[in-house]
């Protein structure tokens, strides 16, 4: 088996990849089918988004493989890597470039040149995505800024889509040469040994990772500890001391002492939260999301998804193999206490954010863009009920599926999808029902957790 | 001193993980004061057995009693008498070593601060470093300190020395020898480094595919298997050697080296005399005994 053949196995052997292929298919198929069946539309030039997405997926997989020291030692692996990238890129972009096949007003030879130019531009975008993914740690964050830049440019009258279309149609030859040069640059970059050395044996989480709760925890801890400043260290130390002193106030081997100790053990979950940058980011998100969407479809309400996502990833029974004097009952009480404390904290934070968004609604100006009026809208506090309903369900899945990040994420997406339909029905017709559902959801959580704590193994096989 | 009252009892304990039978109808008694060497290949079920004792795993079938309590219902009081070093070496990575020691010690009434200080000095543990940044050996040292700091009655060591360097391993053995001077303390040590284990244990359990192949005192095991070197005093040895229960035999001219089972030393000496041979008898090393027992079951 050649290194290339071995590498290709990564693309179909892991079940999680099929999830990403589904997303990719949903993105790419319309991009290719629509231009072939319909008249030209300038929105077709967005095929480049599919190229970028494909580049991110291809590079993310390889980045994870590169973290395994084995791949560093494999002879000729690096050459295989770039060959593979180019193979995928050429195949995909040859199809995506066909977007321009029905472009009006140009003859057949020139159409072929335009298609060629479009293919090369797609290839350049694809390679750019690969470059950014391999170079940085926060690919999605960097690339996530692209739509904001596009919105910003369009706000000052620069139509990005029109420019891209114009370049492809009027300057195909220059486009081919420039893209070719860029691809050569990336080809050379991918051949550098420093690339493999850079990623070798790094703890990372990606779309292919076997994201066990322990791995996620270690990854987040490493990240948080690296970013710690003097003030965050002081704050965390104070928090540590305060919990330790409180813990010591209770007698040895009592539930209270154990529960407080348990809470202290989980302080790591908040290590990365206590920074100014985190608070500024939250504020920016509240400000920007308030302008997006209207009526019932307001982006700012999406903030309520965060506590739900958090609950799906909040393992209430971590560090199973560290033996501290706490039996199964104590673990149960500690977990329940933590779940309630977390929910209470989230309610408090939600109320603060709600208050802040109401305050901002009175201060922030209304913006006019391309004839559209954008006014700031505060959060709808009704969504907090969704949090109270879905968080215990999240805690249950976080406990039962603690080993599998992907299963948890898919379950969460499915649950939110179903709830998005039921929500309107419940709110408009059976508002009383929501209180009953919240009670049932919490009762279910308590029962499942009790069963888990008392009747199941507290650590996985061969795991901690 | 071994006390007749078992502190751990397992009766007919079975545990299955999917298709793997991790424990298969295990029966055992661990008595107070025993120093047990739990031996077995990877996947033999050693860690699974240890985790049943502290109630981390629950048996699919059978019962495990620790300190006269069902292992599933161990309370903080019973758990406060057990020290456990686990092979994965999971610790609270985000704390500094000092914070971690203070944190764990806060759970135990009888935490021995003198022992802690001595251990930190002897094992050269850095208190300022984050646990997550420690080398595997340093982590293992911290894990051992956390397990012995409160002088537990039952100390469970699951591969405690695997990450230690030779000097630290030797220090660790000295420490164990010091700990076992307390005659009421029970230690279960699971390790692949059998040369280390045999220096401290007085009881042996050998596991294979979820079953206990042997559960007996180490002395009886050493008496059961002997290595005999025969040197003929008058030329070559006869083709047929009149010994029973020979497990292995290597011959070279006037000399033969035999591994025998269940033979009396006196009887061997008499037969050697009859053959006009010089005889040298020694007990087998634990590693040799382990190989024989496991290979007999294959």
Least confident of A229-233, B16-20, B118-122, B259-263: A229-233
Question: What are all long-range contacts of B174-179, with beta carbons under 8 Å and residues at least 24 apart?
Answer: B175/B119, B175/B122, B175/B144, B175/B148, B176/B200, B179/B148, B179/B155
d(CA A354, CA A376): 13
Contact call for A326 and B79, based on CB within 8 A:
yes
Residue A358 has pLDDT above 50, yes or no: yes
Instruction: Tell me the per-residue pLDDT of A176-213, one tens digit each, with 9 for 90 and over.
Output: 999 999 999 999 988 887 777 887 777 676 665 655 66
For residue A326, the chain B residue with the least C-alpha distance is B76
Spell out which residues of chain B touch residue A321, defining contact as CB-CB under 8 Å: 51, 56, 86, 88, 90
**A352 close contact with B: CB closer than 8 A:** no
Burial of B114 (0-12, 13-18, 19+ CB in 10 A): exposed
For residue B71, the chain A residue with the least C-alpha distance is A327
Contact call for A459 and B56, based on CB within 8 A:
yes
Q: How far is A326 from chain B (nearest CA, A)?
A: 5
**Residue B1 confidence (pLDDT):** 52
Contact call for B80 and A456, based on CB within 8 A:
no
Residue A463 has pLDDT above 50, yes or no: no
- Mean pLDDT, chain A, whole residue set: 81
Percent of chain A with pLDDT over 90: 17
Please report how the helices A77-96 and A47-66 are oriented relative to each other, as an axis angle in degrees rounded to 10: 170
Residue B214, classed as helix, strand or coil, is strand
What number is the average pLDDT over the span B21-48?
93
**Residue A461 confidence (pLDDT):** 59
**Residue B232 confidence (pLDDT):** 85
**A249 close contact with B: CB closer than 8 A:** no
Contact call for A253 and B84, based on CB within 8 A:
no
d(CA A120, CA A117): 5
For residue B147, the chain A residue with the least C-alpha distance is A323
Instruction: Tell me the per-residue pLDDT of B224-282, one tens digit each, with 9 for 90 and over.
Output: 999 999 888 887 777 788 888 888 888 888 888 999 998 888 888 888 888 888 889 99
**A108 close contact with B: CB closer than 8 A:** no
Q: Closest CB to A321: pick one of B17, B56, B77.
A: B56
Q: How far is B156 from chain A (nearest CA, A)?
A: 11
Contact call for A461 and B17, based on CB within 8 A:
yes
Distances (CA, A) of B21 to B11, B17, B48, B109, B270: 16, 6, 11, 39, 47
Q: Closest CB to A320: pick one of B56, B74, B83.
A: B56
Residue A420, classed as helix, strand or coil, is helix
Residue B10, classed as helix, strand or coil, is strand
Instruction: List all residues 6 or more positions away from B207 whose beta carbon is below 8 Å from its beta carbon.
Output: B38, B39, B40, B44, B45, B46, B49, B213
Spell out which residues of chain A touch residue B82, defining contact as CB-CB under 8 Å: 323
Number of residues in chain A? 464
What count of other Cβ atoms lies within 10 Å of the Cβ of residue A185? 12
User: Which of B18, B44, B90 should we substitute to test contact with A (largest number of A Cβ atoms within 10 Å)?
Assistant: B90
* pTM of the full structure: 0.78
For residue A263, the chain B residue with the least C-alpha distance is B103
Residues forming a β-bridge with B188: B36, B156
User: Which of A212, A241, A327, A458 should we substitute to test contact with B (largest number of B Cβ atoms within 10 Å)?
Assistant: A327
**Residue A127 confidence (pLDDT):** 93
Spell out which residues of chain A touch residue B54, defining contact as CB-CB under 8 Å: 323
Burial of B11 (0-12, 13-18, 19+ CB in 10 A): middle
Contact call for B92 and A319, based on CB within 8 A:
yes
**Residue A78 confidence (pLDDT):** 75
**Residue A330 confidence (pLDDT):** 92
**Residue B113 confidence (pLDDT):** 94
**Residue A206 confidence (pLDDT):** 63
**Residue B193 confidence (pLDDT):** 87
Interface of B with A (CB under 8 A): 17, 20, 22, 47-48, 51, 54-58, 72-80, 82-84, 86, 88, 90-95, 99, 102-104, 106-109, 130, 132, 147
d(CA B86, CA A459): 12
Q: How far is A348 from chain B (nearest CA, A)?
A: 27
**A248 close contact with B: CB closer than 8 A:** yes
Residue B24 has pLDDT above 80, yes or no: yes
For residue B77, the chain A residue with the least C-alpha distance is A253
Instruction: Tell me the per-residue pLDDT of A248-263, one tens digit each, with 9 for 90 and over.
Output: 999 998 888 998 898 8
CA A229-A212-A6 angle, to 5 degrees, is 110
Q: How far is A323 from chain B (nearest CA, A)?
A: 6
Residue A274 has pLDDT above 60, yes or no: no
Residues forming a β-bridge with B39: B206
Least confident of A31-40, A215-224, A392-401: A215-224
Pairwise pLDDT comparison (B179 vs A395), residue with the higher score: A395
Spell out which residues of chain B touch residue A323, defining contact as CB-CB under 8 Å: 54, 79, 82-84, 86, 147
Q: Closest CB to A221: pick one of B17, B47, B132.
A: B132
Instruction: Tell me the per-residue pLDDT of A51-75, one tens digit each, with 9 for 90 and over.
Output: 888 888 888 888 888 887 777 777 7
What number is the average pLDDT over the span A346-364?
87
**Residue A392 confidence (pLDDT):** 94
Contact call for B93 and A322, based on CB within 8 A:
no
What number is the average pLDDT over the span A274-292?
77
For residue A246, the chain B residue with the least C-alpha distance is B106
**Residue B177 confidence (pLDDT):** 84
CB pairs under 8 A between A and B: 109
Sorting pLDDT into bands at 50, 70 and 90, what band is A83? confident
Contact call for A258 and B107, based on CB within 8 A:
yes
d(CA B37, CA B47): 13
Q: Closest CB to B76: pick one of A222, A321, A326.
A: A326
d(CA A8, CA A65): 12
Spell out which residues of chain A touch residue B102, defining contact as CB-CB under 8 Å: 244
Percent of chain B with pLDDT over 90: 55
Contact call for A252 and B109, based on CB within 8 A:
yes
Q: How far is A141 from chain B (nearest CA, A)?
A: 25
Q: How far is A238 from chain B (nearest CA, A)?
A: 12
User: Which of B94, B109, B150 should we substitute to test contact with A (largest number of A Cβ atoms within 10 Å)?
Assistant: B94
Instruction: Tell me the per-residue pLDDT of B188-226, one tens digit each, with 9 for 90 and over.
Output: 999 888 988 898 999 999 999 999 999 999 999 999 999
**Residue A464 confidence (pLDDT):** 42
Contact call for A218 and B93, based on CB within 8 A:
yes
A399 token code pair: 């406990």
Instruction: Tell me the per-residue pLDDT of B152-174, one tens digit each, with 9 for 90 and over.
Output: 999 999 988 877 888 888 888 88
Pairwise pLDDT comparison (A369 vs B242), residue with the higher score: B242
Distances (CA, A) of B204 to A165, A258, B177, B222: 78, 35, 17, 11
For residue B57, the chain A residue with the least C-alpha distance is A457
Pairwise pLDDT comparison (A275 vs A425), residue with the higher score: A425
d(CA A212, CA A404): 5
């Amino acid at each position: 088996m050649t290194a290339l053949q071995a590498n290709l196995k990564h693309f179909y052997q892991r079940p999680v990849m099929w999830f990403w292929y589904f997303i990719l298919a949903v993105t790419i198929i319309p991009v290719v089918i629509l231009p072939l069946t319909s008249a030209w539309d300038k929105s077709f030039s967005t095929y480049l988004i599919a190229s970028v997405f494909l580049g991110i997926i291809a590079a993310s997989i390889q980045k994870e493989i590169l973290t395994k020291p084995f791949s560093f030692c494999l002879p000729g692996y690096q050459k295989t890597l770039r060959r593979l990238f180019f193979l995928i890129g050429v195949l995909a972009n040859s199809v995506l470039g066909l977007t321009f096949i029905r472009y009006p007003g140009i003859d057949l030879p020139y159409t072929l040149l335009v298609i060629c130019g479009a293919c090369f531009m797609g290839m350049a975008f694809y390679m750019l995505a690969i470059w950014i993914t391999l170079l940085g740690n926060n690919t999605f964050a960097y690339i996530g800024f692209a739509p904001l830049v596009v919105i910003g440019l369009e706000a000052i009258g620069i139509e990005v889509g029109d420019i891209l279309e114009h370049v492809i149609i009027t300057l195909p030859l220059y486009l081919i040469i420039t893209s070719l040069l860029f691809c050569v640059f990336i080809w050379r970059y991918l051949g550098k040994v420093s690339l493999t050395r850079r990623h070798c044996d790094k703890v990372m989480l990606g779309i292919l990772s076997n994201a066990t709760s322990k791995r996620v925890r270690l990854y987040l801890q490493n990240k948080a500890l690296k970013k710690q400043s003097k003030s965050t260290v002081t704050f965390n130390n104070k928090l540590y001391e305060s919990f330790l002193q409180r813990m010591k106030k209770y007698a040895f081997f009592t539930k209270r002492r154990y529960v407080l100790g348990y809470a202290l053990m989980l302080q790591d979950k908040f290590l990365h939260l206590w920074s100014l940058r985190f608070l500024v980011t939250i504020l920016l998100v509240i400000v920007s999301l308030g302008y997006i969407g209207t009526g019932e479809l307001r982006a700012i309400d999406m903030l309520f998804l965060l506590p739900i996502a958090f609950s799906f990833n909040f393992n209430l029974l971590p560090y199973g193999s560290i033996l501290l004097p706490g039996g199964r009952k104590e673990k149960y009480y500690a977990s329940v206490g933590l779940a309630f404390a977390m929910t209470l904290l989230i309610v408090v934070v939600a109320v603060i954010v709600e208050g802040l968004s109401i305050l901002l609604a009175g201060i922030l100006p209304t913006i006019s863009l391309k004839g559209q009026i954008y006014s700031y809208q505060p959060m709808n506090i009704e969504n907090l009920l969704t949090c109270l309903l879905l968080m215990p369900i999240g805690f249950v899945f976080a406990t039962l599926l603690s080993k599998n990040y992907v299963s948890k994420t898919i379950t969460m997406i499915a649950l939110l999808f179903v709830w998005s339909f039921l929500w309107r029905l419940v709110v408009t017709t059976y508002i009383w029902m929501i209180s009953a559902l919240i009670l049932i959801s919490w009762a279910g959580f308590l029962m499942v957790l009790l069963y888990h704590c008392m009747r199941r193994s507290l650590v996985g096989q061969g795991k901690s | 001193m071994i006390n007749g009252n078992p502190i751990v009892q397992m009766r007919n304990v079975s545990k299955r993980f999917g298709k793997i039978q991790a424990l298969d109808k295990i029966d055992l008694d661990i008595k107070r004061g025993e120093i047990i060497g739990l031996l077995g290949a990877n996947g033999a079920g050693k860690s699974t057995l240890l985790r049943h004792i502290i109630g981390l795993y629950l048996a699919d079938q059978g019962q495990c009693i620790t300190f006269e309590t069902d292992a599933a219902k161990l309370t903080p009081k019973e758990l406060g008498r057990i020290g456990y070093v686990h092979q994965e070496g999971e610790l609270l990575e985000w704390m500094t070593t000092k914070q971690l020691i203070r944190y764990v010690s806060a759970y135990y009434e009888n935490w021995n601060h003198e022992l802690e200080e001595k251990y930190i000095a002897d094992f050269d543990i850095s208190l300022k470093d984050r646990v997550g940044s420690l080398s595997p050996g340093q982590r293992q040292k911290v894990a051992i300190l956390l397990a012995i700091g409160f002088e537990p009655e039952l100390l469970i060591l699951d591969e405690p020395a695997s990450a230690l360097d030779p000097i630290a391993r030797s220090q660790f053995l000295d420490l164990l020898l010091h700990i076992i001077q307390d005659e009421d303390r029970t230690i279960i040590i699971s390790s692949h480094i059998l040369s280390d284990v045999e220096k401290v244990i007085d009881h042996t359990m050998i596991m294979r595919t979820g079953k206990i192949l042997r559960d007996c005192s180490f002395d009886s095991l050493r008496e059961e298997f002997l290595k005999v070197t025969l040197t003929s005093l008058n030329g070559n040895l006869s083709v047929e050697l009149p010994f029973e229960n020979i497990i292995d035999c290597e011959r070279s001219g006037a000399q033969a080296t035999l591994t025998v089972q269940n033979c009396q030393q006196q009887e061997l000496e008499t037969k050697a005399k009859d053959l006009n041979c010089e005889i040298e008898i020694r007990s087998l090393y634990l590693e040799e005994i382990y190989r024989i027992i496991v290979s007999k079951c294959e």
